[in-house]
Structure 1
Amino acid sequence: MTDEEKKTNPQEAADTPSDPAEPGSRPTASVAEADAESPKGDNPSPEEEKESGPEIPEVLPLLPVRDIVIFPYMTLPLFVGREGSVAAVDEALARDRYIFLATQRDPSVEDPKEGDLYRTGTVAMIMRMLKLPDGRLKILIQGVVKAKIVEFIEAKPAVRVRIDRIVESPMKEGSLEVEALMRASREKIEKILSLKNMPVEILMVTENINNPGVLADLVASNLRLKIEEAQSVLEEEDPVTRLNLVSTLLSRELQLAEMQAKIQNQAKEEMSKSQREYFLREQMKAIKQELGDIDGKSEEADDLKGKIEAAGMPEEVKKEAEKQLRRLEGMHPDSAESSVVRTYLDWMVELPWAKETKDNIRIGTAKEILDEDHHDLEKVKERILEYLSVRKLKDKMKGPILCFVGPPGVGKTSLGKSIARAMGRKFIRMSLGGIRDEAEIRGHRRTYVGALPGRVIQGMKQAGTRNPVFMLDEIDKVGADFRGDPSAALLEVLDPEQNFAFSDNYLNVPFDLSKVLFIATGNVIDPVPPALKDRMEIIPLSGYTDVDKLAIAKKYLLPRQLEENGIRPGKITMRDKAILAIIHEYTREAGLRNLEREIGQVCRKLARKIAEGEKGPFAVTPKSLAKYLGAPRNLPEMEGEADEVGVSTGLAWTPTGGDILFVEVSLVDGKGGVMITGYLGDVMKESAQAAITYVRSRAAKLGLPRNFHAKHDIHIHVPSGGIPKDGPSAGITIATAIVSSLTGIPVRRDVAMTGEITLRGRVLPIGGLKEKALAALRAGISHVIAPARNAKDLEEIPKHEARQVRFTLVKTMDEVLSLALTRDPFRWKKRKTKPRRGKGAPAKGAGKPKRPPRAKGPR
């Protein structure tokens, strides 16, 4: 029921369950209500009351009310539920029905004290009372006179107060000013009633009132005023001043009524349900604007407009943002489209269009930071310092895309963090491992439900600046499927010629990525598409030697594990031999992750002892490692072995670093078949076939009969059959093992080799020589045979590592055989004894070859 309907139906208004004494309600009393509840024959006129004046006791029970101010001559129902309020009503009914009503300053206070109540209130008479089933009381009260609280007397069970009645001085008759003021007030009331289409009978009540104070109270009681405004009217004792104040409030109400009527006239024709809702919202907006209040939608629009101005967007982007803001203002706030536009604008204003951190580049400090965070890696550090130097000399430069490639655990990700710390920039890491959806990079179109920008734009928002260090981790593990190729989407991100206007599908406006320093990492570079690889500067990171691992463990790993396990420095000492024993016997890796895990396990075991009360200090030795880590898991491959026939040592490259592999060859009676086992790939099998063909072509020079292959089967096996192996670099290793098995000459155990073989015995270059050299060093091999065309790769091997291994560069397979076998197979003598079978020389029946001319092969 609307307020207008309540005023025209006094009975329904009186019965409306409004509870000023309880929170969340605000009853109103109209002129019609007062007339309906108080007939003229029962209520004295104001003039009669002035002359006689009702006898009001000085001490009355107090009833605090919320959300309303009670005026004299005001009749309305109240619901009473608080314990003290019920007691006050009972006391008033037991005496003379008079009760004092005072308004609370804060409606939410359940138990108001003296400071929570206004001192000026109204003495009212309880006309009716009804007890409700839930224990509350419904009373009908009528205001009598104004009064002030002089003193609070009692608090229990009901609050009682001593009051001082406010008696207004009689007005002088015939004052033109007062008469004009009253007439103006009546005219305003008449206009308001006409604008709201209410019955004019209500105006008759005001026509019969000649006292300006009574008129002011009656009008104020029927205006929907704030508590503070209504209380100020009640507290004003001078009738003329009070009527002036009410006249001002009537003027404001008249303006609101006129605005309301204007809005109603504009939106009256052909109004559907949705149009009616729009009209009501516009009506509320107009009213709030007239009152000086701004609705939430306007506040949001103004807030977004201010953020757009402050974001520093390029002109093209700013126009798009303002266009979307205008669309948002014209939408229903609860529509689905408005939610999409609002989310889009939130992204637009939160992106760092103009914010950037100032580079604080000091080459000396940067070098100290890199040396502090990482051991060795001199070539990588040198390239980083070169970039920082150029950046310091030239502000506007296109940032290179660095790509660190190396086995796990060598410090690729932490290098990116060190670069960001050296430059004073924010660091953002985005893992690309397993991403198969192109939308992860470029984002989704806004037409999709739940669309978001791509992870590149999300990272820029997270950084809060447009020039962070952005790490693209595991770039070699990006996949592709029916949803697109993410690596193709990265082409625009990582191209300095294009990324100044990177276009995200969600934003649909260009975003400048040219000032971002992108750093990519990967374990292998082969899976990266050539077009993407061409946009990056590849910086390889090889594994660490034992000496490097020892230094890193002492400087970084052990102190970090002691701190993480709550062990004070000096409580545990780990000798160098113990760390080397962990490296050799418990870890076999190019990086450092497993080494740190094993050191952490030792620290945890000792932390338990300390927690159980043992004082220490504790010394970790190689002999005590088994107690903490169990039996050694890795035994040296070459330890205790002698030179063998038919077994050669090769070097292999793996994504986790270099490794050694053995090739075994045995001869058995047969018909010239070849068996190749050991989970080998096609390329490696072809290398074995090429090695056999080479040996057959050199049979005469090696002292072998021409038909040696016709009566024997050759079995080539590479151990560790559960591990897939492929590649051409084992060609010379297989050929050496075949020649050793056929001639009976053992292969040197301290020699490892790598290289691709051709049918004519040429040795072709291979890759990953540095990693393979480190693998040989870890296995205790002191001599490495490599292709001559890999001489350039020797420069990448650190000097302190190169000094521990002797490299021999060869061009032909004949040179390899002269170096790898214990004696030169091309300088043979006629055998007087039968050759060994199995892993030895050719089997029985192979025949005794004639001595060929002495070959002049290289040594």
Structure 2
Amino acid sequence: MSTEQNQLLRLPLLPLRDIVLYPNSLVPLFIGREKSILAVEHALSTGKEIFLAAQKDAQLDNPKEDDIYRVGTIGQIIQVLRLPDGTIKALVEGKQRGRIVRFIPDYEFFVVEVEPKTEVIEAGPELEALVKLTHEAFQEYSQINKKIPSDLVNNILKINEPAKLADQVATVLNLKLSQKQRLLELTSVRKRLEMVYGYLRGEIEVAKVEQRIKDRVKKQMEKTQRDYYLNEQMKAIQKELGEREDGRSDLAELEKRIKKKRLPKEAAAVVRREFKKLSMMSPMSAEATVVRNYIDWILSLPWFEKTKDKLDIEEAERILNEDHYGLEKPKQRILEHLAVQKLVKKIKGPILCLVGPPGVGKTSLARSVARALGRNFVRMSLGGVRDEAEIRGHRRTYIGALPGKIIQGMRKAGTINPVFCLDEVDKIGTDFRGDPAAALLEVLDPEQNHSFQDHYLELGYDLSQVFFITTANALHTIPAPLLDRMEIIEIPGYTEEEKLEIARHYLLPRQLEAHGLKPDQVPLPDKTLLEIIRRYTREAGVRNLERELATICRKIAKEVAKDPKAFKPFTITIRRLNQLLGMPRYRYGVAEGKPEVGMATGMAWTETGGSLLQIEAVIMPGKGQLNITGKLGEVMQESVQAAMSYVRSRAHQLGLPPDFYQKIDIHVHVPEGAIPKDGPSAGITIATAIVSALLKIPVKNTVAMTGEITLRGRVLPVGGLKEKLLAARRGNIETVILPKENEKDLKEISPKITRKLRIIMVEHMDEVLKEALVLEDPEKLFKDVPPLDIWTLLKKGEGEEIRAH
């Protein structure tokens, strides 16, 4: 290209990876980057001159100006060969050092202005001595390093020009890129040759050390092979003479293990006794195998090995928050345990029971606890376990006897203080093989588990330092004695806000990584995530939510895989959800559109979270029958009977004739008849629906209620309050009626759940009706009259139907 004023050259730039080209040297280059190919083609069309400079980081495919060294070499392209795959093989000769003054913009490739650098040659005896020393050192180096071709060695030894000699030797030496670049940047020939001579001497010393190591290793290998050969001969001779017994060497190894292993006194005495018995047996006998396995089990168990707890409370809190969103109560309990451990130094391992619906993170929380404490983690599932031997192990008299899962888990953990997760403790079975839940009593009792007796080991094993965490979906299936030994921590379902945070910060990044996608390829706004939460999943946890996100990622991954370059990311709107996930599976907001007569909204708890129940009651001409439908369990059927009795007892105050029920039939129905429903929480809802139907007064559609009713109209407390309130939030409910005795439970519920709800606490059914029914003056609902005297009615002959009923 053209030469401008003050001797600056404008040349195309070719960035080099891991290579430094020196003047007076030829280098073959394979060029594959598009920019580099354009630079070479431009150079070929304008005099074949090109500037070559090394990249600071060889891994960069698209280096910027700051990623390229400023000092390089002005080169001449000697030959170019185009390869079938589109790359170029070029032979380039270095001519002169140069320095980049500036980069010229507006080119498809790098174009730079280069200032040629003039070398400084300090002629004198010192430079001549350096040339001679370099020749001698290079000749010595070439004798050690056999990879250098002999003709190249002869050519370099003939060079007497100091500058050319320094560059040629530097090309041959195995130097780092930074060292090669430093040599290129030196204009002083004396300093450069001195540095090259220093590198040569260093390489010679390293090569000598390597040779000494190789010689030593070779001698050792020869000795090892000789010993192996002799040993094999000795074995063959012993075999021919019938003197060899494989068991002897095995016994010697076992004895070494016994001596090395630190054991409690009882276990050490048993091992010594069993080893003595084993040494007197024939190695081929069946009993010898049993005894050997027994000793192996004792030696492989951790008896004193333990991990040191991380007692940094802040770090543990950070780890727990990093792995899980929310779950404040269990996190607080773990941090309290750590704090006490820090103060007391040694405490008995706690037994926690995490109870909650599926998918809320019980098992993964146990894993996070192990990470926060710095302990090993081991997990065992108890779901479907029916055999007591699964917990306590088999007697050694049985063929194929093994220790129980607890001892197996301890061996797997490798330490005496792991975090041990017992999953699905509420799903243990019982049959003729014993009761596994009863066998767990000793394991999970802090007063007994310091000497747990396994049937196989028949030794007291210390479980007191184990941090046991059990998980369950429900408490009523866990035997009371077992439940008594555990500290219960309830993990209720997540709110919509919590699910949104979990999806954004935990689930979506995990699925993107699992499907090989980048965040910008799956843009999911919060509105779309909320739509998935509300209309595609109905759960307390987040397991189905993660499945739906995985479905979206799979479909997008399919489009990306077809043509990665052509794929253009698109925002996943609510309208696009129908294409990706199909039509919505659930209805969001089940509150009725307007107040209806005989229809009340109740709140129910299930093992998968809370839900709303629309309870209907209708009045028909009949003979006093009470019909109940909707696949209700015994408890809810009794609630209907109790609600009806309350209404009949308050008939006079409600303005109903005493015999109102004799000429009508009342039908109470709970929709979704195929789904079993049971539990003591729908009494006041049923009573409200019946009163509404009898008085023909609508029930407010924005009111939901929960609570059990007594015959006298008292409202009893219920459980599952958080799940029920979450269901009310999902159903666009404004007012919630709760039993007065549940007021204490509200203090443990996050204000995020209750802030949009108007909560009314009631003690009696009369208060419920005043709040739930659409009344102009609620105080006038009940007539201010004394209750009817049943006995007076009977004496007057007006209560025959009452007596018959």
Letter of the aligned partner of 2:780 in structure 1?
Answer: R
Change (3 A) 1:456 1:829: closer
Separation in structure 1 between the aligned mates of residue 591 and residue 571 of structure 2, nearest angstrom: 28
Letter of the aligned partner of 2:328 in structure 1?
Answer: E
Change (3 A) 1:228 1:431: closer
| Aligned with residue 672 of structure 1, among 621, 624, 628 | 624
**Residue 384 of structure 1 aligns with which residue?**
334
**Residue 662 of structure 1 aligns with which residue?**
614
Cα shift at 1:726: 1.3
Change (3 A) 1:535 1:481: same
In the alignment, is the contact (CA less than 8 A) between 2:356 and 2:473 conserved in 1? Answer: yes
Separation in structure 1 between the aligned mates of residue 692 and residue 596 of structure 2, nearest angstrom: 9
Cα shift at 1:825: 6.3
Alignment of 1:445-460 (within 5 A): 445-460=395-410
Task: Give the secondary structure class of the aligned counterpart of 2:698.
Answer: coil
Letter of the aligned partner of 1:765 in structure 2?
Answer: P
**Residue 740 of structure 2 aligns with which residue?**
788
Cα shift at 1:765: 0.8
Task: Give the secondary structure class of the aligned counterpart of 1:796.
Answer: coil
Q: Are 1:755 and 2:707 counterparts?
A: yes
Cα shift at 1:362: 0.7
Task: Give the secondary structure class of the aligned counterpart of 1:428.
Answer: strand
Which string of whole-angstrom CA distances, capped at 9 and with x for unpartnered residues, describes residues 301-346 of structure 1? 2222222232211111111111111111111211111111111111
**Residue 570 of structure 2 aligns with which residue?**
618
Change (3 A) 1:228 1:737: closer
Which string of whole-angstrom CA distances, capped at 9 and with x for unpartnered residues, describes residues 141-185 of structure 1? xxxxxxxxxxxxxxxxxxxxxxxxxxxxxxxxxxxxxxxxxxxxx
Q: Are 1:595 and 2:545 counterparts?
A: yes
In the alignment, is the contact (CA less than 8 A) between 2:591 and 2:702 conserved in 1? Answer: no
Task: Give the secondary structure class of the aligned counterpart of 2:555.
Answer: helix
Cα shift at 1:815: 0.3
Separation in structure 1 between the aligned mates of residue 759 and residue 246 of structure 2, nearest angstrom: 78
Task: Give the secondary structure class of the aligned counterpart of 2:396.
Answer: coil
In the alignment, is the contact (CA less than 8 A) between 2:771 and 2:778 conserved in 1? Answer: no
Which string of whole-angstrom CA distances, capped at 9 and with x for unpartnered residues, describes residues 238-286 of structure 1? xxxxxxxxxxxxxxxxxx9xxxxxxxxxxxxxxxxxxxxxxx99x955x
Separation in structure 2 between the aligned mates of residue 719 and residue 677 of structure 1, nearest angstrom: 8
Cα shift at 1:638: 2.5
Which string of whole-angstrom CA distances, capped at 9 and with x for unpartnered residues, describes residues 677-698 of structure 1? 1111111111110000000011
Alignment of 1:178-577 (within 5 A): 295-577=245-527
**Residue 154 of structure 1 aligns with which residue?**
none
In the alignment, is the contact (CA less than 8 A) between 1:400 and 1:518 conserved in 2? Answer: yes
Alignment of 1:725-744 (within 5 A): 725-744=677-696
Change (3 A) 1:439 1:228: closer
In the alignment, is the contact (CA less than 8 A) between 1:702 and 1:826 conserved in 2? Answer: no
Separation in structure 1 between the aligned mates of residue 253 and residue 486 of structure 2, nearest angstrom: 42
**Residue 580 of structure 1 aligns with which residue?**
530
Task: Give the secondary structure class of the aligned counterpart of 1:538.
Answer: strand
Change (3 A) 1:637 1:711: farther
Task: Give the secondary structure class of the aligned counterpart of 1:574.
Answer: coil
Letter of the aligned partner of 1:606 in structure 2?
Answer: I
Structure of larger gyration radius: 1
Gaps of 5+ in 1: 1-225, 232-255, 257-279, 289-294, 831-859
Separation in structure 2 between the aligned mates of residue 733 and residue 775 of structure 1, nearest angstrom: 15
Separation in structure 1 between the aligned mates of residue 557 and residue 270 of structure 2, nearest angstrom: 61
**Residue 805 of structure 1 aligns with which residue?**
757
Gaps of 5+ in 2: 1-227, 784-805
**Residue 10 of structure 2 aligns with which residue?**
none
Which string of whole-angstrom CA distances, capped at 9 and with x for unpartnered residues, describes residues 775-828 of structure 1? 111222121111101111101211111212221110000000011111166625
**Residue 235 of structure 1 aligns with which residue?**
none
Separation in structure 1 between the aligned mates of residue 255 and residue 628 of structure 2, nearest angstrom: 74
Q: TM-score, normalised by structure 2?
A: 0.66
In the alignment, is the contact (CA less than 8 A) between 1:311 and 1:352 conserved in 2? Answer: no
Task: Supply the RMSD in Å over aligned alpha carbons.
Answer: 2.2
Task: Give the secondary structure class of the aligned counterpart of 1:710.
Answer: helix
Change (3 A) 1:496 1:665: same
Cα shift at 1:657: 1.3
Separation in structure 2 between the aligned mates of residue 640 and residue 697 of structure 1, nearest angstrom: 30
Separation in structure 1 between the aligned mates of residue 446 and residue 615 of structure 2, nearest angstrom: 48
In the alignment, is the contact (CA less than 8 A) between 1:648 and 1:733 conserved in 2? Answer: yes
Cα shift at 1:636: 2.3
Task: Give the secondary structure class of the aligned counterpart of 2:768.
Answer: helix
Q: Are 1:652 and 2:604 counterparts?
A: yes
**Residue 80 of structure 2 aligns with which residue?**
none
Which string of whole-angstrom CA distances, capped at 9 and with x for unpartnered residues, describes residues 715-764 of structure 1? 11111111111122111011001001101111111111111100000001
In the alignment, is the contact (CA less than 8 A) between 1:702 and 1:825 conserved in 2? Answer: no
Separation in structure 2 between the aligned mates of residue 479 and residue 688 of structure 1, nearest angstrom: 34
- Percent identity, aligned pairs only, is 57
In the alignment, is the contact (CA less than 8 A) between 1:436 and 1:478 conserved in 2? Answer: yes
Separation in structure 2 between the aligned mates of residue 305 and residue 470 of structure 1, nearest angstrom: 32
* Count of aligned positions: 550
In the alignment, is the contact (CA less than 8 A) between 1:662 and 1:719 conserved in 2? Answer: yes
In the alignment, is the contact (CA less than 8 A) between 2:592 and 2:701 conserved in 1? Answer: no
Cα shift at 1:228: 7.6
In the alignment, is the contact (CA less than 8 A) between 1:545 and 1:778 conserved in 2? Answer: no
In the alignment, is the contact (CA less than 8 A) between 1:703 and 1:826 conserved in 2? Answer: no
Separation in structure 2 between the aligned mates of residue 454 and residue 324 of structure 1, nearest angstrom: 21
Letter of the aligned partner of 2:710 in structure 1?
Answer: T
Which string of whole-angstrom CA distances, capped at 9 and with x for unpartnered residues, describes residues 670-714 of structure 1? 110111111111111111100000000111111111111000111
Task: Give the secondary structure class of the aligned counterpart of 1:573.
Answer: coil
In the alignment, is the contact (CA less than 8 A) between 1:308 and 1:349 conserved in 2? Answer: yes
Separation in structure 1 between the aligned mates of residue 623 and residue 443 of structure 2, nearest angstrom: 61
Task: Give the secondary structure class of the aligned counterpart of 1:465.
Answer: coil
In the alignment, is the contact (CA less than 8 A) between 2:298 and 2:457 conserved in 1? Answer: yes
Task: Give the secondary structure class of the aligned counterpart of 1:610.
Answer: helix
Separation in structure 1 between the aligned mates of residue 555 and residue 380 of structure 2, nearest angstrom: 35
Change (3 A) 1:804 1:825: closer
Separation in structure 2 between the aligned mates of residue 356 and residue 594 of structure 1, nearest angstrom: 38
Cα shift at 1:356: 0.8
**Residue 693 of structure 1 aligns with which residue?**
645
Separation in structure 2 between the aligned mates of residue 388 and residue 740 of structure 1, nearest angstrom: 56
In the alignment, is the contact (CA less than 8 A) between 1:701 and 1:826 conserved in 2? Answer: no
Separation in structure 1 between the aligned mates of residue 246 and residue 763 of structure 2, nearest angstrom: 82
Alignment of 1:120-135 (within 5 A): none
Range with greater deviation from structure 2 (342-351 or 607-616): 607-616
Which string of whole-angstrom CA distances, capped at 9 and with x for unpartnered residues, describes residues 71-119 of structure 1? xxxxxxxxxxxxxxxxxxxxxxxxxxxxxxxxxxxxxxxxxxxxxxxxx
Letter of the aligned partner of 2:466 in structure 1?
Answer: V
Which string of whole-angstrom CA distances, capped at 9 and with x for unpartnered residues, describes residues 527-554 of structure 1? 1111111111100001111111111111
Change (3 A) 1:332 1:661: same
Range with greater deviation from structure 2 (818-827 or 429-438): 818-827
Q: Are 1:827 and 2:780 counterparts?
A: yes
Range with greater deviation from structure 2 (683-692 or 614-623): 614-623
Separation in structure 2 between the aligned mates of residue 675 and residue 711 of structure 1, nearest angstrom: 14
Which string of whole-angstrom CA distances, capped at 9 and with x for unpartnered residues, describes residues 276-303 of structure 1? xxxx99x955xx6xxxxxx421222222
Letter of the aligned partner of 1:792 in structure 2?
Answer: K
Which string of whole-angstrom CA distances, capped at 9 and with x for unpartnered residues, describes residues 432-479 of structure 1? 101111100001011111111000000001011111000001111111
Separation in structure 2 between the aligned mates of residue 318 and residue 345 of structure 1, nearest angstrom: 10
